[in-house]
Structure 1
């Protein structure tokens, strides 16, 4: 399997989620299952079914987190620099059609959160920005047609 690039902050957040799910959530769900079992007939016990489904979802996410953390290629972006866009860069760009300015950090897939200002390195917009410099324009295919953007600022923090 391929390594998964991520920032130190992203790795810490996933490790914290893993810890929460294995320590707190697991215990809470087991208690909910025990309580539901005490209500009697399991075949018609909605609480039991719901708790078992929660357990299944939680265990699935735990396995997913274990895999991601095992394959993590943690990159310290404080040691990165340069004038071109690459992993870890915080990029401010402007939509050439609407004049709307946006700022995003290019991060790994597991830590991407557009509403939090982080986009995945594998997203179409990040792929289009990679290797570009301040002042460069780039184009991204969108469902409504191609969109053009211009990079205003690149920084590594």
Structure 2
């Protein structure tokens, strides 16, 4: 059995996952179990929408809880604010990039489980993040994207606590 790569995550990303787990396990799941029990007590389950939907939703929640539990168990929390080497792009870096047309873009390299491209958070195994790792201000990196290759210059690198 091969070791899986480390599952890096920021402290804030871990806290979000923990909060979702706690909400599902401590609040949503118990309410749903109560609704299913009530619906089951109403007799015929074959045409009981509350019962059928409740069981389906319960399976979804249990799957999500299993996934979140696995993420938390294998996560390696890395605080970007504690990054020692601040002159290179590493996990947790917020990087300002400029493309060939001087279009600016700011991305933060985070764990794959907390990536959100629309918010500028890029999972560390994404093509753009892999291309940026190790780069310094002034370096140019070519990123291979589905739409083709794109060249970026690193304008600024900073490490701070993420929100």
Q: Give TM class, smaller chain.
A: over 0.9
Return the alpha-carbon distance in structure 1 between the equivalents of residues 38 and 105 of structure 2: 49
Superposed CA offset, 1:59-115 (max 9, x none): 111111111101111112111142111101001112224x32111110111111112
Pick one of 9, 12, 35 that aligns with 1:9: 12
2:98 — aligned with what? 94
Aligned partner of residue 42 in structure 1, secondary structure:
coil
Task: Report the counterpart of residue 39 of structure 2 in structure 1.
Answer: 36
Structure 1 length as normaliser, TM-score? Answer: 0.92
CA–CA separation in structure 2 for the residues paired with 1:44 and 1:28: 21
Unpaired runs of at least 5, structure 2: none
Q: Which aligned pairs between 1:74-153 and structure 2 lie closer than 5 A?
A: 74-80=77-83, 81-97=85-101, 99-153=102-156
Task: Tell me the TM-score normalized by structure 2.
Answer: 0.89
Give the aligned partner of residue 21 of structure 1.
24
Structure 1: gaps spanning 5 or more residues: none
CA distance in 2, matches of 1:28, 1:100: 49
Secondary structure of 2:9's counterpart equals strand
Cα RMSD of the aligned pairs, angstroms, is 1.4
